[in-house]
Amino acid sequence: MARKIPSAVVAAGGLVGGYGVARWTRKRQLGGVVLAVAGVTAAAQWRERAGGAAAGALSAAYVAAFAGSHPLAKKVGAWPAVFGVAGAVALASWAVADRDR
């Protein structure tokens, strides 16, 4: 089933879902599990669809988006920051790995 879900959706869902779970459960570790599972799933899809170099670059973008959402949240708010970085990762993922599917 994961093959049918675009990697852009998996990656964006991991960022949004990870934050949502952490916020609503008040357990950051649980949100981290969601973030990590989605990241590993997306990376496998990226590797399969676009190769190892692209998967590495998109994985770095995923981690950078997670890290970058924290300082961005101080300027624009938590949810806008998370949605912004999730959108950026989704767009990159679509452009590199999903567009031709």
pLDDT at res. 3 = 60
The conformational region for residue 51 under phi > 0 = left, psi -120 to 50 = alpha, else beta, is left
Nearest to 17 by CA among 71, 94, 90, 96: 90
For residue 4, what pLDDT is reported? 85
Residues of the chain with pLDDT under 70: 1-3, 101
Give the span between the Cα atoms of 52 and 46, in whole angstroms: 8
Query: What pLDDT, on a 0 to 100 scale, did the predictor assign at position 101?
Result: 63
pTM for the model: 0.92
**pLDDT (0 to 100) of residue 2:** 52
